[in-house]
Amino acid sequence: MTLWLMAGLLFTPLAWAVLTLLLDFSKGRVVTWLGILVQVLVSLGLWAAVASDGEFLYLLGGWQAPMGIELRVDGLAVTFVLLTALVAAACGWHASIYLDPDKPWNRYFWPLFWFLWAGLNAVWLGGDLFNVYVGLELISLAAVGLVALGGQADALRAAIRYLMAALLGSLAYLLGVALIYGQFGTLSLAGVTDLVSNGGAQSNLTFPLILMLLGLALKTALFPMHGWLPPAHGIAKSPVSALLSALVVKASFYIAARLWLDLGGDLGGYALAQLIGVLGSLAVIWGSWLAFRQAKLKQVVAYSSVAQIGYLFLLFPLTWGVTDAISQQAQQGITLQVVSHALAKAAMFLAAGNLIMSVGSNRVDALAGVSRFLPFSLFSFGLAGVSLMGLPPTGGFAAKWLLLQASLASGQWWWLGVLLAGGLLSAAYVFRVYRASFIEATDTDQFYHPSRSLEVIPMILALLSLGLGLVAEPVLSVMSLPFEGAGS
């Protein structure tokens, strides 16, 4: 059963991508709605299956390691699968109303959307380094295509820049994979982990690990390699920005985290872990500051992504050389941060899209009067902002709490400052938007009112992000289900 669900998660999006390629926008929309329904149900099914039976490993087509395609699912993977289904469903639904069916290029949104989804599921469920790479490339290409969808010069420029960064990152990752393959003759992550921990390595493998992490960090837009992200996320259509910020950058981070948790203990070092943590902290501070300085609303949200991604890299120092309990706490905190940021950021981009559509301008100071005219979307934006600030009772707060505890318990108290200052800085840029919207304006007559469905979708996402803090315990209990069958 679990096998069929996993196969469904990989092959339905691919089938749908091909199918929608043949259809025009409106027909593609109907087909997509159906596909979204299937995907959400299958994801829920897989989540329930893992919650009751635990992890699962499958060798596709019966090929054995080292060459075969290996699928594996554990609590972490299925959490991300479900998250992807929720966010992608919301963005797909939003896009089906938001995008203009009369623009000829918009019909390509659907195939790209489905290729992206297929790539994401491949990364979450992949068990070997090469297939994960294929998934990652699929994601990058689909994402670049989505950014370029608008067709204007700005969008194309941002897309090209994004493409360059993504390819460079992939190249570094692939080089690392090749070096590891040359050493061990296997690409299965579990197999490599086994060999490394049994002392099977003949030469120093730290270099390939660093190379892979570097490539992935570039794709995740870790400071100071974040330059490509804000233009791309800022210029894309709102549902696309939401997908990119919520899910795409998380894919490369997910691989980096898996590599680190499996291999980092043996191949990494204190200095490397701390360095990555420091870069993450700088991303938090610098990204928040730049977000505060932006004049355009979507740029504020995009730079906020740079900052929020910075928190994720605290995983590296907080899981290196610490006890299992602390490592577990840090992993839980980071996972919650990924999930709550994905939900909140998607909500924020979609709500920002509505606000921009309403006032007809991308500027923050054009928002005057919007609190009276479009309170519902503003409220969604606000709730998402509360989660980004890490204030209770949101998922962002639960994540911050766990990370605070992990920092204290591991004696790395310096991350406390980052976590607390980061929260205050994000409050600065979020409240700047509130402030602009509370100014009373007289010319709200020219405002355009988006349809009710467009307003409801970000609210649902924002409420999920808020509620995550209240139900964090059951979510974490599934997420922490370990992958015990590794390598056996």
Partner 1 sequence: MNLSVLMPVFALMTSLLASVVLFALPEKGHRLRTIINLAAAILKIALVGVMIWGVAQGCKYEAAFTMLPGVEFVLRADALSMLFAGLSALLWLLTTIYAVGYLEDSPNRSRFFGFFSLCVASTMGIALAGNLFTFFLFYEMLTLSTYPLVVHRGTTKALRAGRNYIIYTLTGGAVLLFAIAWLHGLVGDLRFQEGGYFSDIAPSMRGPLAIIFVLMMVGLGVKAALVPFHGWLPQAMVAPAPVSALLHAVAVVKAGAFGIIRVVFEIYGLEAAKDMGLLAGLSVVAAFTIIYGSTRALYQVDLKRRLAFSTVSQVSYIVLGLCLLGPVGVAGGLVHLVHQGIMKITLFFCAGNYAETLGVHRIDELDGAGKRMPGTSVAFTLGAFGMIGAPPLAGFITKWTMGSGALAVGMDWVVAVLVISSLLNAAYFLPILHRLWFAEQCEPWPHERRWGRLETSAWLLWPPLITAALMLVAGLIANLPFSPLSWAELIVAREVAL
Site residues, partner 1 (CB under 8 A):
329, 332, 371-372, 375, 379, 386, 389, 391-393, 397-398, 401-402, 404-405, 408-409, 416, 420-421, 423-424, 427, 431, 434-435, 438-440, 469-470, 472-473, 476
Residue-level length of the chain: 488
Nearer Cβ to partner 1 (208/423): 423
What's the min distance (Å) between Cβ of 61 and partner 1? 40
What's the min distance (Å) between Cβ of 467 and partner 1? 12
Nearer Cβ to partner 1 (62/411): 411
Paired tokens of 30 = 């109907």
- The CB-side HSE value for 218 (13 A sphere, CA atoms) comes to 20
Nearer Cβ to partner 1 (120/347): 347
Identify which of 249, 247, 115 has the alpha carbon closest to the alpha carbon of residue 169: 249
Q: Which amino acid appears at position 383 of this protein?
A: L
**Do residues 350 and 238 lie in contact, with contact meaning Cβ atoms separated by under 8 Å?**
yes
Nearer Cβ to partner 1 (464/476): 476
- Ordered DSSP codes for 109-162: HHHHHHHHHHHHHHHHHB-BHHHHHHHHHHHHHHHHHHHHTT-SHHHHHHHHHH
What's the min distance (Å) between Cβ of 435 and partner 1? 6
Nearer Cβ to partner 1 (100/440): 440
| Residue 70, H or E segment | strand 69-73
What's the min distance (Å) between Cβ of 408 and partner 1? 4
Q: Which amino acid appears at position 450 of this protein?
A: P
Nearer Cβ to partner 1 (191/333): 333
What's the min distance (Å) between Cβ of 391 and partner 1? 5
- Bond prior to 393 in cis (omega within 30° of 0): yes
What's the min distance (Å) between Cβ of 398 and partner 1? 6
What's the min distance (Å) between Cβ of 294 and partner 1? 18
Q: From the centroid of its chain, how far is CA 95? A: 18
Please state, in angstroms and rounded to a whole number, the distance separating the CA atoms of residues 364 and 368: 9
Paired tokens of 221 = 């837009």
Nearer Cβ to partner 1 (138/459): 459
